[in-house]
Copies of this chain bind each other. A is one copy, B any other.
Amino acid sequence: MNLKELAHHLNLSQTTVSRALNGYPEVKKTTRLRVEAAAREFNYTPNARAKGLATGRSMSIGHVIPTSAKREMVNPVFGDFITGASEAYVQAGYDLVLTLVEDGKEERLYRNIRDKGNVDGIIVHSPRMQDSRIALLSDLGLPFVVHGRASDITADYSWVDMNSRRAFSRATAFLIELGHRRIALVNGLEFMDFAFRRRDGYLSALAAQAITPDPALMRAGEMTELLGHQSARDMLDLADPPTAFLTSSMVTAIGVRRAIQEAGLEMGRDVSVITHDDELSYLKNGQDVPLFTATRSSVRAAGRRAADMLLQMIADKDCGPLHSLLEAELILGNSTGPAPAADIKTPYRQERT
């Protein structure tokens, strides 16, 4: 059933039916009711392509996700992020178009996406320190929001990010409070912006207590279980091994924990491990020290926020770049405290309702 048929059935013009269905005010109430009833009866759903052609909007948002050729996998946080974004899209009647692209091969992709015209905006994931995509996208004139920041980019652009620096400095400070001095960091790849920030937070907390960072206790790589295992094993073999680990991923932490176990050490007594992870809440305090930074729900919230921002930018073309820095939920030891205040103002404006 299309508009023409529906209109004919109702003895009305397509114009009127279209107006009734799209909430235009000039339609008589009884007419609108009749139209709506018929639409429901015949299960009428407007054709999205035709609507898009006519309006110039596609009512869908593109998410571009880089896949690491090495790992050949997508980072599991995207699942949560997209879940959050999806909520916003459903409410606003948007679709989500997913494009996976191999790391680094994305340069020419964006132009095609714009010219194809089947998305009204883009969400860009996993920015690197100085990410060339941002300049590219700014030129294209297609609204976009970056999930994460690119530290070396001076231009203003829209982003949503977790406060990685804060989370990791707080976690490090907490370990220092507990008496640790030899604290290991098993980080993600440090040309990724978030990993750089995490390291920065770690270093700043050490510096605050005049602890000299030891390169032998800092490791970075693809966030796999293997990385965690190898890093921890090597470090525990040192003459002066770490007494605590700070890891950048739940998966990495698994490897770390296993290496600790293999070394005959006991978690919480001999060694502390801090990671971010949703599911450690059942642990006894003291046995391990979980830090929740980017919990699943935090990531979901970030996705939601990014989507809201992008939809606002699409609705209000000149609302300018928007930013939103989200504080990670932190649980240090057994104390669930409120998140610390953001260290950057977030000029995020609520969508007009």
A residues within 8 Å of B by Cβ?
43-50, 52-53, 58, 60, 63, 67, 72-76, 78-80, 82-83, 86, 95-100, 111-112, 115-118, 224-226, 229-230, 251, 254-255, 261-262, 279-280, 282, 287, 296-297, 300
On whether A300 and B72 interact (CB within 8 A), knowing A45-B116, A95-B118, A111-B43, the answer reads yes
Residue in B43, B48, B83, B287 whose beta carbon sits within 8 Å of that of A72 in the complex: B83
Structural contact, B72 and A296, CB atoms closer than 8 A? yes
CB distance from A282 to the nearest CB of B (A): 6
Contacts of A75 in B (CB 8 A): 79
CB neighbours of A44 from chain B (8 A): 115
**Contact, CB under 8 Å: A67 / B49:** no
> In the bound complex, do residue B80 and residue A73 qualify as a contact, i.e. CB atoms below 8 Å apart?
yes
Which residues from chain B contact A224 at a C-beta distance below 8 Å? 279
- Counting every copy of the chain, the complex holds 2
A287 CA to B229 CA, complexed, in Å:
15
Identify the closest chain B residue to A108 (Cβ): B43
Contacts of A230 in B (CB 8 A): 282
Besides the contacts A44-B115, A45-B112, A86-B99, what 16 more A-B pairs have beta carbons closer than 8 Å?
A: A45-B116, A47-B116, A60-B97, A60-B118, A63-B98, A67-B83, A72-B296, A72-B300, A73-B296, A76-B79, A95-B118, A96-B98, A97-B98, A98-B98, A229-B282, A261-B261
Q: A47-B116, A300-B72 are in contact. Are A82 and B53 (CB under 8 A)?
A: no
When chains A and B are docked, how far (Å) is the Cα of A43 from the Cα of B73?
31
Q: How far is the CA of A75 from the CA of B296 in the complex (A)?
A: 12
Which residue of B has the minimal Cβ distance to A43? B111
B100 near A86: Cβ-Cβ < 8 Å: yes
Asked, given contacts A49-B117, A99-B96, whether A74 binds B67 with beta carbons under 8 Å apart, the answer is no
Task: State whether A115 touches B60 (Cβ < 8 A).
Answer: no
| Known contacts A112-B45, A224-B279, A251-B279, A100 near B82 by CB under 8 Å | yes
Given contacts A72-B300, A112-B45, are A282 and B98 in contact (CB under 8 A)? no
Closest 5 CB pairs of A and B: A45-B115, A225-B279, A74-B79, A49-B52, A86-B100
Residue among A44, A72, A300 with the highest chain B CB neighbour number at 10 A: A72
User: Which residue, A44, A79, A111, A251, has most C-beta atoms of chain B within 10 A?
Assistant: A79
